[in-house]
Amino acid sequence: DVKVTQSSRYLVKRTGEKVFLECVQDMDHENMFWYRQDPGLGLRLIYFSYDVKMKEKGDIPEGYSVSREKKERFSLILESASTNQTSMYLCASSLLNNGRIDIYEQYFGPGTRLTVT
C-alpha cells in the first residue's frame, strides 16, 4: 500500500525558531513536493524535488528551504519561523516522467498543522 508519512500531525513553535518538517515515502518515487494549504487559498507549491539533492522553487519559496539527501525523504526547513507561516503543510510524492513535473497521480501525506506563536 502506498504510503507518505509526515513526522508530526501538529506542531507549535515560537517565532524565530528553526523548524524541520520531515516527509518520508515508501514508493520509490522520484518526485517529492511540499505545499502549504490555507483556507481560501487552496494549495500552493513551496518546493519540489525530482531527484536526490535536486530542488526547484515553487510559487512561494520565500522563508523556506528544503533538503533531499535520500530518495525517500524530503525535509522542509523554516529557518526562522514567523507567525505568517502558521499553516497546514502537505507533502506529496509521485513518479517522474521524462523530466515533467508530474503527469502522474500525487500521493499525499496526512499533513502537519504548524502554529507559530
Partner 1 sequence: AQTVTQSQPEMSVQEAETVTLSCTYDTSESDYYLFWYKQPPSRQMILVIRQEAYKQQNATENRFSVNFQKAAKSFSLKISDSQLGDAAMYFCAYVDDKIIFGKGTRLHILP
Q: C-alpha cell of 14?
A: 515560537
Contact 86, 72 (CB under 8 A): no
Classify 35 in phi/psi space as left (phi over 0), alpha (psi -120 to 50) or beta: beta
State the Cα–Cα distance between residues 27 and 96, nearest whole angstrom: 12
Amino acid, res. 62: E
Q: 41 to 60, contacts with partner 1 by CB under 8 A?
A: 41-45
- Grid cell digits, residue 48: 519540489
By the rule CB under 8 A, 1 interacts with partner 1: no
Quote the least distance from Cβ 12 to partner 1, whole Å.
18
* Closest CB 55 distance from partner 1, rounded Å: 15
Of 1 and 69, CB closest to partner 1: 1
User: Which residue type is seen at 34?
Assistant: W
Q: Is 18 in the site for partner 1 (CB under 8 A)?
A: no
Q: Minimal distance in Å, beta carbon 108 to partner 1?
A: 4
Residue 107's closest CA among 9, 17, 12, 33?
Answer: 33
Q: State which of positions 69-98 bind partner 1 (CB under 8 A).
A: 90, 92
Task: Choose between 39 and 62: whose C-beta lies nearer to partner 1.
Answer: 39
Residue ranges binding partner 1 (CB under 8 A) = 4, 33, 35, 40-45, 90, 92, 100-103, 105-106, 108-111
